[in-house]
Structure formats: structure tokens, C-alpha cells
Amino acid sequence: MNTAMHVTPDQSEASQAYAEALHRLLPFHFFYEKLGKELPDFTFLDGDEVPYPYRSLLVHKNDMTPTLAAFHHSKLDLKVHRHEDSDNMIMRLVSLHAAASEKAVEYGAIAIQLDGMDEEVRNAIVAGEKPLGGLLGEYEVEHSGNPSTYFSVPADDLIADALHQSTGEILYGRCNQLLDRDEMVFADIVEILPRCDESERWVKS
């Protein structure tokens, strides 16, 4: 696939491919539009085009919370940067941080459908104190992941600030959906990882 696409809210660029790109990037695009900011240039990739070590961290159907917790040998804390709530949906711009070091290990956005959630799970999600992946494991909520695409993206000021990266640094991520036991989508997620220089050097050695 490897399709480079200038994904900005410019109506003159509207096309089927453009619309599909924005759909993939919801709810990330939602918050950029609210802030009046242009999205950075996303390049969509197939899984085998994502370089290591990021391929190991992104190209799978598992939840990112336990995946990153195992990689960083630490529990993860949730930081909510912005949010939009309604009775049945929560949208958040968030980052995950390794509790042991306070290092940012992921930045992105999530939209969660609350319909059909058990009250205890729903209340825990609304509280916004723990990552969704951790809560789904804690409450043994049956679900599966369904990544729709992977991407590279140059860090803009928002991404760079949240992940402590240099502006323009090429980062990797994925667009993922979570499905319930009936294979209905209950969460749309855009997940971006910081560079991991130590792991990159190990891969190249």
C-alpha cells in the first residue's frame, strides 16, 4: 500500500481516498479540527512495511496497554489531554506513561461507545484513571482487536510535546478498532509511539 497522503481538512482535496483517510484517523482528526490545527502528513503502510522494533509493538491484534507494559517493564498510567463526553460516548486525546519512569510511551486518541457496558466497567472508563486496555483485562471483558492500517507520521508540535520528541521526527503508529463478543465495534483508536533509540540500535547491530 505505502500511500503517502497529505491529510489536512482542506475541502479542495476531498476525494474518496481523502475521506477514507479521515475516517481511519478518527477520533484523532476530531481533536485537531476542534483545535483548528491541520493534521500532519500521514503515510499509510502495510504491516510488513513498518520497521522493527515498531513492527513488533504495533503489528498484532493485542491491546497496546499490556503490550507496552511488557516492553517497558512497567505499569502504565493514563493522562487525558482533552476530552468530549456524552451519555453514550467518550472521546479522549491521551498519552500513556510508564509508571516506573514517567516516560511517555504512547500518544493518540480514542472514541469509546459505552452502550452495552456493564455498569462497573462503564464507571471505571468514565473515571478516566486507567488505560482502556488495562480495564478490559481487569474486568475480563471479552473483546478482540482489529487494526485497519499502520502509518508513519512526522511529529508536529502536539505529538512532539506529548512524546518528548523532536518536531519532524518520523514516528510509527496504527489505527485500531476494538470489537465486542458480537464483533461490533465499541472503540476506535489512533496510537502513535515515540522513537526507541536503544531498541533501534539493537535491531541494527
- Full residue range of the structural domain in which residue 17 is found: 3-204
Q: Which three cell numbers stand for residue 137?
A: 483485562
Q: Is the pLDDT of residue 8 over 60?
A: no
Stretch 51-66: mean pLDDT, rounded? 96
Which CATH number do you get for residue 59?
Answer: 3.40.1410.10
Of the CA atoms within 13 Å of residue 6, those in its CB half-sphere come to: 7
Q: Which three cell numbers stand for residue 168?
A: 519532524
**pLDDT tier at 12, thresholds 50, 70, 90:** low
How many structural domains does the chain have?
A: 1
Report the alpha-carbon distance of residue 1 to residue 33 in Å, rounded. Answer: 27
Q: What gap in Å lies between CA 49 and CA 205, rounded to an integer?
A: 20
The three-point CA angle 35-129-25 to 5° equals 40
